[in-house]
Structure 1
Amino acid sequence: MAPLAKIRGERDRMSAIERRIADFMLENAHLLRDYSSQQLANALGISQSSVVKFSQKLGFKGYPDLKFSIGESLARRESGGTGPGMAPSARRLGNPGILLAESLWRAKGEAVQVTTALNAHADVAAAAEAIRGAGKVYAIGVGNDGLYARAIAIKLALIGRTAIHLFDTALMAVGTSSATAGDVLLVLCEHGQEAALCQTARLFRQRGGKVVTITRHTANALRAHADIALLVSAHDPRPQVELLLYQAALQHLLDLVFLLLCEDEAHLRMLVENAAPIE
């Protein structure tokens, strides 16, 4: 995983001092080559050992190893992902459309990579298993998340699951009032602060249902109501790009759950039957 992506992904679980180091590195990555661990510590007003421990916590031998990895990652990004000694082709340099597409592709790949690393396979598998054994699956989300909730509900119906898509926040609590023990509520909410979704999740659990949430990798109210909390990490200073990265990582996470469900032969057979053209 790219070191800066790893720092972004881990930031919300860091201590206050670690977040200060992380923010400095994320905002001044190009300057790190000129900073020793002591100079970085002095700039932040912390101890040198804090910088060393921060680097080791991320899986590096020490600060020089982390600094080299960040520099190497930046060099690859600036060269358009070409290998050592390879210059970008004239066609790519002269075509801004290709450069834009490649830049977006790399950014999406990084967001997906960090998101995958954040979610233990056991958690993704547990979400799939809960859906597999559910009598009914309620998929809810608002705004852009609602589009993905509707899409996963359709996919679940294709493999024979009873899936209900809810999109009106005023009626979500009513819509799930028929839930019984063993049913699953799949809640998609980017920032996890939607009060109506939190209330619906709380009531759902009181009825014996299981709540699966997908939110950003931040501390948020909705995660507190989850039996299984899946996380998305997607960061970019450009809001239009960050939106696309979040959607790409969210879709990838939902796709993983769907693929695990399709390992069930009955589900796969139902998908093939439903996908066949109607004559």
Structure 2
Amino acid sequence: MASPLLKIRAERDRLSAIERRIGDFVLENAHLLRDYSSQQLAGALGISQSSVVKFSQKLGFRGYPDLKFSVGESVAREREPIAVAPAATVDVPAVADALWQGKSQAEAATRSINPESGLQSIAAALHAAGRVVVVGSGEDNLAARAFALRLSLLGVAAAYHPDPALAAAQVAGLGEGDLLALFSEQGQQPALLQLAKLARERGARVLSATRHSSNPLRTIADHALLVSAHDARPHVAMLLYHSALQQLLDVVIVQLCAMPGRQARLADHQARMRRLLDP
């Protein structure tokens, strides 16, 4: 059975208000859930005990005790330390295997919450766009810049901006048929929200790339790319997030390549680059 934490994240948008409250509590307090009985959990949330039981069963468990046990196992797996030699020398094969497994799990989780039809709609929107402005700041700028470059290679009129303030002039010039792509892991940056609102006012569509969470940027966007990547160690969580995001963007690019004329544009650009680079 898949991780209950992953199930809650994947199903959150389809849960009722009470179920979301229970799910959010479980996600935020997974490491403490073993100390809560169903009655205590219900009391902490001000709901009935039967709501907790029904929530557990909706996730595929026989009851709350099974859910609690499975959550405990998931937390233990996420917190399992990577082996380190006594002399503080990193066991490279062990680290590589653990990281590969973590990335695979994050990419599988991300794939499960991004339906194929949604990715096809995003590829179609990019194909039809007159202009595309891509904005990403901080750690999000690397993925945003690479995405804009790949769009350009496929013949999409894409411009990348690392600074939301400087991007405002470009966004103000967007109109019907254009698209603004915003990269923000947490989806909370006020400057990006202002850009999204400006684009919508101009008639352009908005694509967001964020974590699979309830965030204002995802809410305002016409299309949303969602990433599910979690680890108790911040430095590993960061790597898993960007790996899963890159895989998601690569899928969109491959689908865009299937659109009429895009592969020919790519071949033309690659031929020009070879002529420039060859001695």
TM-score range, shorter chain: 0.7 to 0.9
Change (3 A) 1:96 1:272: same
Secondary structure of the corresponding residue to residue 231 of structure 2: coil
| Residue correspondences, number | 258
Cα displacement (A) at 1:146: 1.2
Q: Specify whether residues 149 and 207 from structure 1 end up closer, same or farther in structure 2 by C-alpha distance, changes over 3 A only.
A: same
Aligned equivalents of 1:236 and 1:76: distance in 2? 9
Uncovered stretches (5+) of structure 1, i.e. residues with no partner: 81-94
User: Which of 226, 230, 247 matches 1:231?
Assistant: 226
Partner SS, residue 176 of structure 1: helix
Aligned letter for 2:232?
P
- Per-residue CA deviations over 1:143-197 (Å, capped at 9, x if unaligned) read 1111111101110111111111111222111122221210011111111111111
Would the alpha carbon gap of residues 21 and 195 (structure 1) be closer, same or farther in structure 2, given more than 3 Å must change?
A: closer
Secondary structure of 2:106's counterpart equals: helix
Contact 2:31 2:75 in 1 (8 A): no
| 1:68-147 aligned within 5 A | 96-147=91-142
Asked whether the equivalents of residues 38 and 64 of structure 2 are also in contact (C-alpha less than 8 Å), the reply is no
Number of the residue aligned with 2:57: 56
Give the drift of 1:230: 2.1
Identity %: 44
Contact 1:5 1:111 survives alignment (8 Å): no
Match for 1:158: what amino acid? Answer: L
SS of 2:172's equivalent in the other structure is: coil
2:193 is paired with a residue of what secondary structure?
Answer: helix
For residues 168 and 75 of structure 1, do their structure 2 counterparts lie closer, same or farther at Cα, with a shift above 3 Å needed?
A: closer
CA RMSD of aligned residues (A): 3.0
Check the 8 A contact 1:140/1:167 in 2, yes or no: yes
- Give the equivalent residue in structure 2 for 1:18: 23
Cα-to-partner distance string for 1:98-132 (whole Å, 9 max, x where unaligned): 22111111111222122211222222111111100
Q: Secondary structure at the match of 2:181?
A: strand
CA distance in 2, matches of 1:115, 1:67: 24
Q: SS at 1:15's partner residue?
A: helix
Pick the aligned partner of 2:163 from 156, 162, 168.
168
d(CA) in 2 for partners of 1:64, 1:17: 15
Counterpart position of 1:27: 31
Indicate the residue corresponding to 1:89 in structure 2. Answer: none
- Once residues 78 and 236 of structure 1 are traced to their aligned partners in structure 2, the CA distance between those partners, rounded to angstroms, is 8
Distance 1:79 1:229 in 2: 32
Q: For 1:41, which of 38, 41, 44 is the aligned residue?
A: 38
Relative to the length of structure 1, the TM-score reads: 0.80
Cα deviation, 1:53-108, whole Å, max 9, x if unaligned, reads 2222224454566567668878988999xxxxxxxxxxxxxx82222111111111
C-alpha separation between the residues in 2 aligned to 1:21 and 1:79? Answer: 20
Cα separation, 2, equivalents of 1:176 and 1:108: 34
Pair 235,205 (structure 1): closer, same or farther in 2 beyond 3 Å: same
| Distance across 1 between alignment mates of 2:143 and 2:174 | 22
Residues 5 and 110 of structure 1 are in contact (CA less than 8 Å); yes or no, is this contact kept in structure 2?
no
* 1:196-247: CA deviation from partner (whole Å, max 9, x where unpaired): 1111111111111111111112222222321112211222221101111111
CA separation of 1:196/1:136 partners in 2, compared to 1, >3 Å: closer, same or farther? Answer: same
Gaps of 5+ in 2: 82-89
- Write the letter of the residue equivalent to 1:134: A
Measure the CA separation in 2 of the matches of 1:77 and 1:239. 12
The match for 1:87 is: none
